[in-house]
Amino acid sequence: MDKIAVLVPCYNESRTVEKVITDWKRELPEAVIYVYDNNSTDDTTQIAERAGAVVRHEYQQGKGNVIRRMFREIDAECYIMIDGDDTYPAEYGKEMVASVLERQVDMVVGDRLSSTYFEENKRPFHNWGNSLVRGTINRLFKSNIRDIMTGYRAFSYQFVKSFPVLSKGFEIETEMSIHAIDKNMLVENVIIEYRDRPEGSESKLNTYSDGFKVLKTIGRLYKNYKPMSFFGVISLLLCICAVILFVPVLAAYMKTGLVLRFPTLIVSGFMFIVSIQSLFTGLILSTLVEKNRQDFEAKLCMIEMIRGKEE
């Protein structure tokens, strides 16, 4: 088992990968640097090997697929995840590692948004999207993670080996954040400087399509992790609509003794039934989620036992 593993997912980062590896070798000489190439068509692999990194491959396209492979294959006491585009300074690595190894923090988030991100990033919709995602998750999950989409993070062994990677692409950071919040893991924010990509290096993140995927992921995970809240809101809205439709029908009946609008009454009754179904769906799923949390705690104990045997 490695003491510290630096994980660098790469796709066509030949312009920057050597500097990233060199910087991390200087800052954390005791760390093993792993570069996982994701079907690059340039010289990323060869450059990384010459720079002294351990190079491996993931042939399914997408950052989420790369991280799934990394987390399965590498055992370490502390993991640093960093992009290969040289936008994150290595100088903060020691502080993040110390948080994991000395204070047993499960996930350290490199917070760009509280420092230079909005000045350095030249894509305004990225800035707006990051703020939207951060605000949405912190409100929905009652958390205080300052940068949801950052690719600069440190993890404990327990986090890596218990995290189920489901996303295939750039939604992976959102999934990590929500998983840590839901499972009551210890999360810290470290303010970092951010620098935009050097000239000639292009972002693989599509502002619109990947942004939509992130928002879709938030909705899906909110439904999965907070089913009572999700289905409770649906139940309440349906119930209100049913009452609004039913009141005029009831008023007319009280006045004339006749039901004058049968279609409205039928729709109202149908909406009220669906409202009740939604409420009980939330109750049932919330029980399953609670059971999942109990199983997760038992899983953490098993992971710790396995780690002890490996050491």
Which residue's structure tokens are 């300052």? 146
Say whether 292 sits in a helix, a strand or coil.
helix
Q: What is the pLDDT of residue 303?
A: 84
Q: What is the pLDDT of residue 143?
A: 85
- Would you say residue 199 has pLDDT above 90? no
**pTM for the predicted model, two decimal places:** 0.81
- 202 and 128 in contact (C-beta within 8 Å)? no
Q: Edge-to-edge, what's the strand order for the sheet holding 2-10?
A: 54-57, 32-37, 2-10, 76-81, 153-156, 107-111, 187-191
Tokens of 101: 């190894």
pLDDT tens for each residue of 68-79: 999 999 999 999
pLDDT tens for each residue of 93-148: 999 999 999 999 999 999 988 876 655 555 555 566 677 888 888 888 888 888 88
- 85 and 40 in contact (C-beta within 8 Å)? no
Alpha carbon distance 126, 206 (integer Å): 9
C-alpha Rg value of the chain to the nearest Å: 24
